A and B are shown apart, each in its own frame.
Chain A
């Protein structure tokens, strides 16, 4: 025996071990492949030996080679041999190799079932552990079925080490063998309350994964998770649970309000960024059910809203953070808010635009995503201009293509809602065609077509631009790389043909379309070229016959006859067919022309009829012909066998059969008629519904021409007539001027009104510098929705643009630049600035303007005087006040100084070396419309009394460089000195028994709200946490920053609430109770 061992170890001395192999490979850099193949030969020899140590060594080397990309599946049987060794060392090597290279189709796996079962029940916990780890990587449906019971028993093993592994692997077993979920679930649920935190964490992990697949089935576990969330201190577990709640709240709105308190507590108490981020994320997720806060009572809705605003502010802080990771996550979370609360995000536009310049592509892509929801009529041009700059700078086609699609997405969203000037948009599209190597030619093309068809007013301009494009087609087709972009020519040719009456020089365009080079374009584009050349030809004939210039008309026919044969020879069937058709037609026309017959009218009749937009659901209005059954199968339905294959998955996602189809058919004629009636009624009663007036519409339709289109006149002020491609930038300028004019106009009117009403109200309510509705679009899109009933003529009516308003604008363009007209604007914008009136001050420290008639340019919110949680244990006298400054005026604000008059008790912490009356400079400047947060630290001597501090904020308005001053008061309530501190009921009981506490009580009458709302209110406004709640009685606890304990016993009966309180500082308690009373007297 001893001899054998010696012999074994001598053998091993000559074998290469893993380290030798690695060293060898490193020494053979030149001929690595050759060296490895000799090593593999050696390994094959070693595997043939009986000695298990040699085999294990060989398998270990194979594992390494597998990582380098060598297929080692041929050694699968040897791996199984090593796995079944009785020695842990070898067993571990075997299982590792198996976990790296076994998969479902490895056939030797079925040999392992008994071995694994033996290992699972081994007395050595590490044998079991290694088997579980290995199994987690290569478990197959068969293994899962055979071993499910063994693993289930292991879930109640005495060793936590085994328990946690067994719990975790159950998820893999469920995936492979879903039938095991039902019997195993009770035990899994039990493990959520396992005494070992590791096992608990594993169970949470598994259930979270299960719930992600089908959250509905796990709603019943919510109370259990809720308990875990309030008791666990493990951040990993908390993050998982919070993520789980994020998935559950949309299904069960009541859960949301339950979550407020613990989430708020966590947001305030945690120092882990990861946890904070997930909390914020879940608050956002909970907030967006139907886009409204999920609580009916107003107080809680308000509460949530404030909390939500706070979250958005916190996100802003994340994004401004120098840590790129936080910036990325902040943007990620913002994009979730964006879906439901675009307004909240819009105010951070500056920040997001800034992120577009970030050097990090991950961040740029996230910022791009956000842009989509942030555009408005006001800022669209500006944002797109910025994006266009990025397009020019961008290196790498992926990012550039992303930019291109985003620009188009942003502009075209909700029926071009935000575009006010379509000339500008067409110019942007044309500029985009100049991009090198983009794949999105078809996207640009479809936009061009869409805009040209739907915006009638733009057609003249679009046709001119497209003609230029066609003329310069060689720029696009010249280079093979630019293949994608030539799709644009499809749109260009079609637009020029369809709206050829607007062409300035149709002859030139016709020639451009019939150039021999066109034959190199893709077939479908050539086909469009040929067809539209015919349309152009028709228009030309009409023009030329009108001129009684016979020769010109004949020359045109000749041109067609000369050039078309090129297309008749095309290999593309479509092109060939169309070309030969049209060629014959032109030849016939030529014959008639030679006989002096007027043909133009007849030729043009070929392409008569205007293209009108049709509602997406117009098809519905077409009656189904008799005898046609749309639901009947045309062919035999496919067999059901395929769907049966996917049956096992149903256990995770039991999808309800969808009845949507059946529902559709249920809507009968009567019901439809009823709905239509109701809608008409509603429209009649709705003052905001603009009814299409039949008269104006008629006028519009009768006028086929250009003279109704205001754009033509705007054209005059821009040197667009210069041949070549347009510059979108000019439009930005133009648009600004146009808006300014409108604003000035409006101001003038307002001023007049005000003069008439002199002595009336001093304060005029006016929103921001410019509201969305103020911007009148230069062009309107025809938007056809199903709501619009079909007219008798089967034509869908189109909304006409506001002709009167638009006609005015060109005339105003001229005087916009004169400084005189800008003068009144400045004045009135100042008047517009409005003072912040603080109504919802409970938690806010209210800021009151000392002089209510003064004009101020700043809004200042002071959000909760939050206690500096980090500092409170060492230094219980510091309070941090976060102040949000929002610039509501049109000018840049700088040199802001924040100063507070210190009292005996409280002092603003100033940097060393500054005097006791010096102000603190706010560390940022504020561009117009931007808000930012600054924090100030106060030192308090005593916290038993509430405090009021007077302060001033001075700042300079950049352009006028005048000093402005804003007075305010900071109100420190006693509640703001309290920190939400969780307390267990036993500790609470001990505290009450100790007898050091003084008693006090208060009664509130006429409180009309559910008890849990009442508690939530106290928790939120006064920073308490609920210790225990029994029916209509609850005990609550909080601690001050200086360590005073405050205990409350809240009882309610009917509308009376009695609060018995104990605290070791009677003055503090009295004040806190007063504040609570105050809170409830306000509601």
Chain B
């Protein structure tokens, strides 16, 4: 199970947060801060797995993250997920964003966080991986966007 998915930038500003378990708003912010603190002090060429984080997790949980330019993508998962598999999933997520936004950059995520949520919803649902095939994800996202457009201009 995936417990949370966080995206924040190099300064710890949240760009997307998705918790699959309920926390109060304050705790959520604390978790984001703590995760940022843990992840940001790591060098570029160290491994992508982290244990610890007092707030989220416990011994069964692990933080798996990737760092792209200005953004950190962090998944908090338990031992039922394959570590390398999740790393691949993050890659798929980013590539999908890249396709949907055409050369994605941090600004896209800043201004269109709702769209990012919609894309993520096609990949992960309620903490479980729904789809890993990028083409399938893009097809579904596109056809939903088309529907939205047709509603806008009657």
User: Which A residues are within 8 Å of any B CB, using their own CB?
Assistant: 5, 18-19, 22-23, 26, 60, 63-64, 66-71, 87-89, 92-93, 96, 100, 103-104, 124, 126, 129-130, 132-133, 136-137, 139, 161, 164-165, 168-169, 171-172, 198, 201-202, 205-206, 208-209, 212, 235-236, 239, 243, 273-274, 277-278, 324-325, 327-329, 359-363, 365
Report the minimum CB–CB distance from A362 to chain B (whole Å): 5
Q: Does A362 contact B25, Cβ atoms closer than 8 Å?
A: no
Give 16 pairs: A residue, B residue, CB < 8 Å, sorted on A.
A18-B114, A67-B16, A69-B29, A124-B147, A137-B126, A161-B140, A198-B131, A206-B128, A208-B80, A236-B132, A274-B82, A274-B88, A359-B43, A360-B43, A360-B47, A365-B51
Partner of A324, one of B1, B46, B84: B46
Contact A243/B125 with A69-B26, A198-B136, A236-B132 known, Cβ cut-off 8 Å: no
Interface centre among B1, B29, B49, B129 (most CB of A within 10 A): B49
For B126, what are the chain A residues with a Cβ–Cβ distance below 8 Å? Answer: 133, 136-137, 139, 168-169, 171-172
Report the minimum CB–CB distance from A841 to chain B (whole Å): 34
For B95, what are the chain A residues with a Cβ–Cβ distance below 8 Å? Answer: none
Q: Does B51 contact A67, Cβ atoms closer than 8 Å?
A: no
B17 at interface by CB-CB < 8 Å:
yes
For B117, what are the chain A residues with a Cβ–Cβ distance below 8 Å? Answer: 63, 96
For B46, what are the chain A residues with a Cβ–Cβ distance below 8 Å? Answer: 324, 359-360, 362-363
Q: Which residues of B (41-70) have their CB < 8 Å from a CB of A?
A: 42-43, 45-51
A133 to B119, CA, bound (A): 12
Q: Does A168 contact B114, Cβ atoms closer than 8 Å?
A: no
B105 at interface by CB-CB < 8 Å:
no
Partner of B111, one of A22, A87, A88: A22
Partner of B85, one of A19, A69, A202, A239: A239
For B133, what are the chain A residues with a Cβ–Cβ distance below 8 Å? Answer: 198
Report the minimum CB–CB distance from B132 to chain A (whole Å): 5
3 A-B pairs with least C-beta separation? A136-B126, A274-B84, A324-B47
Q: Does B84 contact A212, Cβ atoms closer than 8 Å?
A: no
Report the minimum CB–CB distance from B120 to chain A (whole Å): 10
Partner of A277, one of B26, B47, B84, B114: B84
Report the minimum CB–CB distance from B142 to chain A (whole Å): 12
Interface of A, helix, strand, loop or mixed by DSSP: helix
Interface residue total, chain B, C-beta cutoff 8 A: 53
A161 to B122, CA, bound (A): 10
Q: Does B111 contact A69, Cβ atoms closer than 8 Å?
A: no
Report the minimum CB–CB distance from A75 to chain B (whole Å): 13
For B121, what are the chain A residues with a Cβ–Cβ distance below 8 Å? Answer: 96, 130, 133
A23 to B111, CA, bound (A): 8
Q: Does A243 contact B80, Cβ atoms closer than 8 Å?
A: yes
A328 to B83, CA, bound (A): 10
Contact A328/B49 with A168-B128, A209-B80 known, Cβ cut-off 8 Å: yes
For B17, what are the chain A residues with a Cβ–Cβ distance below 8 Å? Answer: 67
For A164, what are the chain B residues with a Cβ–Cβ distance below 8 Å? Answer: 130-131
Q: Does A171 contact B84, Cβ atoms closer than 8 Å?
A: no
Q: Does A362 contact B50, Cβ atoms closer than 8 Å?
A: yes
Q: Does B29 contact A362, Cβ atoms closer than 8 Å?
A: no
Report the minimum CB–CB distance from A327 to chain B (whole Å): 7
Q: Does A362 contact B84, Cβ atoms closer than 8 Å?
A: no
B144 at interface by CB-CB < 8 Å:
yes
For A69, what are the chain B residues with a Cβ–Cβ distance below 8 Å? Answer: 25-26, 28-29
Q: Does B125 contact A168, Cβ atoms closer than 8 Å?
A: yes
A365 to B50, CA, bound (A): 10
A508 to B15, CA, bound (A): 66
For B132, what are the chain A residues with a Cβ–Cβ distance below 8 Å? Answer: 201, 236
A19 to B47, CA, bound (A): 36
Contact A202/B130 with A69-B28, A88-B151, A329-B84 known, Cβ cut-off 8 Å: yes
For A169, what are the chain B residues with a Cβ–Cβ distance below 8 Å? Answer: 125-126
Partner of B87, one of A63, A202, A239, A325: A325
B103 at interface by CB-CB < 8 Å:
no
Residue interface bits B100-117, CB-to-A below 8 A is 1, else 0 = 000000000011111001
What residue in chain B is nearest A273 (Cβ atoms)? B84
For B148, what are the chain A residues with a Cβ–Cβ distance below 8 Å? Answer: 88-89, 92
A-B contacts besides A168-B126, A273-B84, 15 pairs, CB < 8 Å: A64-B113, A67-B14, A70-B25, A93-B114, A96-B121, A129-B140, A133-B126, A136-B125, A198-B130, A201-B132, A274-B85, A324-B47, A325-B84, A328-B49, A359-B43
